[in-house]
């Protein structure tokens, strides 16, 4: 049975509207508290949030539900999603809750849940909590929020972990950093300055409403301009909850998750630490990455879109490196989720040890023309039962004759159909991505 509340990355929606209305959030807190109490007699649950103005009241509404179920809540305040995952698995917490909608606009928000292992909850446990949430909501009890006070020591423990994970210092290095007015706005600049880098920070003045607005990982043009103006050696942009990062080289070249995976996989293989000589990525990763890895004797396995599925495959086969083109990169030696700040540490460490920049680390990555079109839909229809869409996809695949790819999927967090077309010829890529998108728009838009 399909889940009603949980998508591919927790519960997400417009803050204040179902399923992020006070009644449902409070009911979720009760349900999670009951689930936690079944695992431990006096459960502690961690809550953190990004910088959205709705984050505090959502956290306090969930905390009220948790307290009602007998759980003790501790609040990390503004922290990154990987920070919550790290603190949950290294602390006394049965579960960790992150209030964030990642790269979405400030009006949206979301709830991500981690178990004590630091992994996102398995589907079966999500279904149990969801079912109980809906049942509690139907009882109609008035939600009671719990006032929260942030514990600065929690964020500090995560900072210490990150600092200890880096084997080099960055003295003499200038880093341009776009924090997206999100979770990383204090932590990331402080960390790199501590490690000796000169940091030029932008997107580091959150006001509750400017998270991801014209800044961060989705708007790297601002970062590229900052790199150029300040003569920075490296540039990094984080999304709202800092679980992913996109990079800019000293010459302005954008390096996404595919470039990061290539550089890190090669370095790990050279050090004898790339278990099985395999990297896990998704169906969205460029064919050029797969080809570049093959030239270095490294296999790439693909999963459905979503860092959750990447991580599941990594655990299944024992892989130490995996990630997404969008910038989620998972280093299993250190983390159980994508971590943008940790990714920046690893990538800059590799560059410093090699004595090169990002251009040199990714110079032979031939990126095939790829076009992603998002189509807003009113209703999701089974693609197999939409003849006009099927016909456009078939025409594209026949034209590419094995030298390209077509991928059509629905977003797990937004009412969007995503059309990705990739091939050797830019003109055909543009033409077929537009025609498939238009077919979907007529059927479902």
Give Cβ neighbours of residue 156 (< 8 Å, ≥ 6 apart): none
Q: Is 249 a catalytic residue?
A: no
φ, ψ of residue 229 in degrees (nearest 5): -65, -35
H or E element, residue 390: helix 387-400
Rounded (5°) CA angle 360-191-215: 70
Indicate the angle between helix axes 387-400 and 426-444, nearest 10 degrees. Answer: 170
Number of residues that make up the chain:
445
Give Cβ neighbours of residue 425 (< 8 Å, ≥ 6 apart): 369
φ, ψ of residue 318 in degrees (nearest 5): 80, 20
Give Cβ neighbours of residue 18 (< 8 Å, ≥ 6 apart): 24
Question: Do the Cβ atoms of 279 and 293 come closer than 8 Å?
Answer: yes
Rounded (5°) CA angle 38-44-45: 95
Closest alpha carbon to 271 in 205, 216, 350, 212 = 350
By DSSP bridging, strand 329-331 and strand 321-323 are: antiparallel
Q: Report CA Rg, the chain.
A: 22
CA separation for the pair 207, 212 (Å, rounded): 11
Indicate the angle between helix axes 123-138 and 22-37, nearest 10 degrees. Answer: 130
Closest alpha carbon to 97 in 1, 306, 241 = 241
**Catalytic one of 102, 183, 249, 285:** 102
Instruction: Please confirm whether the linkage preceding 19 is cis (ω < 30° from 0).
Output: yes
Rounded (5°) CA angle 186-188-192: 120
CA separation for the pair 146, 125 (Å, rounded): 25
Strand arrangement of the beta sheet that strand 198-202 belongs to? 198-202, 174-178, 234-238, 245-249, 254-255
Token pair 């150029």 is found at: 228
Question: Do the Cβ atoms of 112 and 120 come closer than 8 Å?
Answer: yes
CA separation for the pair 236, 180 (Å, rounded): 10
Q: Which residues are catalytic?
A: 102
């Amino acid at each position: 049975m399909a889940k009603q509340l949980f998508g591919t990355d927790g519960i997400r929606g417009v803050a204040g509207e179902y399923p992020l209305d006070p009644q449902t959030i409070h009911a979720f807190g009760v349900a999670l508290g009951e689930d936690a109490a079944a695992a431990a007699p006096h459960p502690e649950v961690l809550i953190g949030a990004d910088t959205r103005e709705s984050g505090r009241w959502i956290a306090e509404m969930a905390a009220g539900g948790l307290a009602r179920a007998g759980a003790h809540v501790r609040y990390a305040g503004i922290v990154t999603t990987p920070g919550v995952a790290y603190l949950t698995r290294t602390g006394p917490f049965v579960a960790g809750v992150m209030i964030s909608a990642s790269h979405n606009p400030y009006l949206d928000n979301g709830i991500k849940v981690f178990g004590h292992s630091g992994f996102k909850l398995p589907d079966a446990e999500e279904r149990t909590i969801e079912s109980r949430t809906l049942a509690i909501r139907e009882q109609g009890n008035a939600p009671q929020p719990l006032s929260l006070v942030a514990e600065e020591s929690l964020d500090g423990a995560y900072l210490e972990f990150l600092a200890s994970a880096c084997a080099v210092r960055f003295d003499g290095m200038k880093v341009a950093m776009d924090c997206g007015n999100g979770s990383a706005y204090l932590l990331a600049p402080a960390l790199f300055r501590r490690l000796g880098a000169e940091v030029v920070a932008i997107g580091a003045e959150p006001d509750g409403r400017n998270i991801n607005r014209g800044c961060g990982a989705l708007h790297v043009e601002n970062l590229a301009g900052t790199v150029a103006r300040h003569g920075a050696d490296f540039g990094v942009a984080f999304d709202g909850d800092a679980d992913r990062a996109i990079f800019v080289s000293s010459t302005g070249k954008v390096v996404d998750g595919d470039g990061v995976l290539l550089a890190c996989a090669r370095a790990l293989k050279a050090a004898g630490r790339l278990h099985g000589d395999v990297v896990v990525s998704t169906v969205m990763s460029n064919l050029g990455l797969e080809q570049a890895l093959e030239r270095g004797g490294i296999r790439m396995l693909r999963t459905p879109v979503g860092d959750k599925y990447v991580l599941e495959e990594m655990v299944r086969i024992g892989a130490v490196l995996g990630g997404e083109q969008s910038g989620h990169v998972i280093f299993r030696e250190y983390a159980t989720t994508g971590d943008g700040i940790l990714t920046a540490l690893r990538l800059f460490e590799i560059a410093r040890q090699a004595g090169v920049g990002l251009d040199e680390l990714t110079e032979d990555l031939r990126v095939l023309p790829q076009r992603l079109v998002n189509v807003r839909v009113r209703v999701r229809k089974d693609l197999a039962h939409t003849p006009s869409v099927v016909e456009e996809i078939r025409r594209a695949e026949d034209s590419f004759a094995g030298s390209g790819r077509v991928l059509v999927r629905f977003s797990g967090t937004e009412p969007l159909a995503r059309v990705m077309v990739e091939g050797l010829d830019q003109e055909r890529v543009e033409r077929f991505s537009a025609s498939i998108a238009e077919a979907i728009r007529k059927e479902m838009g």
